[in-house]
Amino acid sequence: MQQKKILIITRNYPPKTGGLEIFSYHLIRQFRQKTETYTLTLSKGRIHLLWFLPYCLIASMVLIKQHHIRRVHLCDGVLAPLGWILRRLFSVQVTVTVHGLDITYAHPLYQRMIPKLLAGFNTIICVSRATRAECKKRGIPGKKCAVVGNGIDPQEFEPVDALGERIRYLQKLSGLTILPENKILLTVGRLIKRKGVTWFLANVFPQLDGRYIYLIVGSGTEREAIHKLINCLGVEKRVAVLSHLSDRDRNQLYHSADLFLMPNIVVPGDVEGFGITAIEAGACGLPVIASDLQGLRDAVVHGITGLRVPPHEPAGFLSAIETASFDRKTVAEYVHTHFSWESVGKSYFERLMS
């Protein structure tokens, strides 16, 4: 029996860094282990899309004809026009992964075009129930939408140093004075409005007692506002903003912190498609306290990998932080079992290659 073939196309691929790049890398890796897989990838910045898209069209046509490929998968919704053309020219099965902003992006022309193109594809893989709901709002048939969450490779999140030096390590990285009795809160991700870090600092952190230290890792449009708020609140000795950490340092923070925070707020037109850092933290046994909204409802399993709290409610976050009690080994085992790329890859393969 001839092996089934697939062409996977992504505009986000390492060495560029980011969630979509990691997703594309692992998806392609999983398919290469299972079947004959061809790829077209872009590993440079957005400006290179100007040549990548026409190149992809020509290269796809050549690959499809030469290798008799009948399945094409697009790694995000922005590539929908390319998929539509290939479907029209070759009657191939076209599938796509939709993450969040690639369906909610508010430009009128984008909204008139992309959802209609997606609706014509064979299968739409949504990274969360929230993303599926956004697709259905825009007229994409629910029967075409399957929910498959994002994944992690547990081996990438093993502790890299003995945790006996935890306090000294945290002090060196943060520049703060940290004592054994301190509780370390951690947020990792883009510092944009919907992530809710500014909201948390203004409305929740001042109510926490002096034992709590908050480490914020990331960059983005809210970074300057966060620095100003830290100074305004006078909490410079308890809050540090870090950036450009190596994977090694990031992983060590996951293993060293006490709680991971995702205090997202509602921002119209900008949804949290999944929340990959929630399962990264969980892979290290770090419990998550997150807003109960959008894709976080799939990334954080309430009572098992963390707690979900109604968004915009300071009292809820305060209570969750002060009372949370989880066994780190149990958290890590659950994430390794249910969110590993081995499990996610199997789900993709079953849906795309059947």
Q: Do 5-147 and 154-338 have matching folds?
A: yes
Q: SS3 for 184?
A: strand
pLDDT at residue 45, rounded to an integer: 75
| pLDDT tens, position by position, 23-52 | 999 999 999 999 999 999 998 877 877 899
Q: Which CATH architecture has domain 154-338?
A: 3-Layer(aba) Sandwich (3.40)
Query: In 11-154, where do the E strands start and end?
Result: 36-41, 71-74, 93-98, 123-126, 145-147
Each residue of 120-145: pLDDT tens digit? 999 999 999 999 999 999 999 999 99
- Asked if 257 contacts 279 with a C-beta cutoff of 8 angstroms, the reply is no
Residue 124 backbone dihedrals phi, psi, to 5 degrees: -115, 115
Distance CA 296, CA 85 (A): 34
39 closest CA partner among 56, 53, 23, 52: 56
CA angle 196, 158, 171 (to 5 degrees): 60
Tokens of 119: 């609706």
| Structure token digits, residue 45 | 């910045």
pLDDT tens for residues 189-230? Answer: 989 999 999 999 999 999 999 999 999 999 999 999 999 999
Statement: 5-147 belongs to CATH 1.10.10.1100? no
- Per mean pLDDT, which of 1-5, 168-172, 246-250, 321-325 is the most reliable? 321-325
Return the domain boundaries, the chain: 5-147, 154-338
> What residues are paired with 242 via a beta bridge?
217
318 token code pair:
């305060």
Give Dmax (Cα) for the chain. 69
CA distance 91 to 85: 10
**Cα–Cα distance between 333 and 59 in angstroms, integer?**
42
